[in-house]
Chain A
Amino acid sequence: MILTGMINLSAFLESLETSGLATKIRDSLVLFPLLESAHVFGLALVFGTIAVIDLRLLGIASTQRSFQRMASEILRWTWAAFALTALTGALMFTTNARVYYHNAFFRTKMLLLLLAGINMLAFELTAGRTVQIWNKAPSAPRAGKAAAALSLALWIAIIFMGRIIGFTTTRAAPSTPPPAGINFDDFLQGAPNGTANPLPRNK
């Protein structure tokens, strides 16, 4: 039973890697770098907006403002940015699924993301229930502060795990040499310059 599950998972990861979309990303010189850039943009917005909320809960910043108002104005953008980050992350994962899946830092990152989700839930079930009482107070009750501090620590750790994945994995090589005419200056000059595909790295 467990063995069947493992075989299925391995087959699933392989089917992700051989999918048309993953192949297209691997074979392109620009798609992976652009996905990674969008991933960093998304996570910067996720971290930046969450930090604003967490610092408010801790009583360090924005202490004069209503917590509920801030949360309702800001968190929708956090979720939109998170969706962008998750989507671009998933697309990058498919290009080299088996390597990422077995990478310890990738696994740690997924675990920390899960913990960040549980932490959010714990906040809703504790300090979140009494928000009417402390909404305008300069900081949240102790449980809310603890969740905010934990949230900041978890997200910083998630960023570090994400960054070190790039140093501990090698990027999948394109299955075929990239077709001529897809460099940026080819768009401008209209002629492929025939430069060789540089060694893939994503540090």
Chain B
Amino acid sequence: MKQFAEWLATTLPSLFIQNHNRWLIPAIQSIHIVGIGVVLGSAFLIELRILGLAGMDQTLRDTASRFDPWLKAALWLMLATGLLLVIGEPVRELVTLSFWLKMSLVALATLIAAAFRFHVRKHEKQWEETLVHRRSIKGLAVLTLLIWACIIILGRLIAYDHVWGSWSPASKH
């Protein structure tokens, strides 16, 4: 991975970002943060609806559909800006424990969101009448929000991978 990261750092797009990193990197990071704001806001409001704390004048399906396009668009935006950040600073991103932990959680959270969306559409009646009242579902909603919180924390910890001590691949050289 380190060799790949070092090779990536010598490619043209990477050199372009590196040469403009005074503005480009913080600008891309800011768009990335705007994206996570939209993701977190959408996930948060869907979860408030599941917990019965907001939007009770609307069905669960309508609430999920309302945020769906924003959640999806923001996730694509984050993938695009995230890729640019990796291309711009490959070693800093790829040779960290935080980055790979974060990617695992992103995969998990995206999977949960997709499964939820699919299941709510297919079993709408069941969700509105019974599932949404279940404790386990409410617990899962809180857990999903915690996963997003961990994703944000790990995202920031990429810059501070030393907090993992010898667990960080960056400490190996």
Contact = CB atoms under 8 A, between A and B. Distances in A.
B107 interface: no
B27 to A, nearest CB: 7
A137 interface: no
Interface residues of A, number: 45
A203 B25 contact: yes
Contact of A201 (B37, B157, B159, B166): B159
B41 interface: yes
A45 B66 CA distance: 18
A197 B171 CA distance: 11
Interface of A: 29-30, 32-34, 36-38, 40-41, 43-49, 51-52, 61-62, 65-66, 69, 73-74, 77, 156, 159-160, 163-164, 166-167, 183-186, 193, 195, 197-198, 201-203
A51 B41 contact: yes
Interface stretch (B5-13, B49-57, B113-121, B133-141): B49-57
- Of B57, B157, B162, most A-chain CB atoms within 10 Å: B162
Contacts of B156: 33, 36-37, 40
B48 A73 contact: yes
Interface string B20-53: 0010011101100110111111101100100001
B67 to A, nearest CB: 8
A45 B41 CA distance: 6
Contacts of A46: 37
B152 A37 contact: yes
B155 A40 contact: yes
Q: 8 closest A-B pairs (Cβ-Cβ)?
A: A48-B41, A183-B165, A47-B37, A185-B165, A33-B160, A37-B153, A73-B54, A160-B30
Contacts of B37: 43-48, 51, 159
B164 interface: yes
A36 B40 CA distance: 17
A201 B152 CA distance: 18
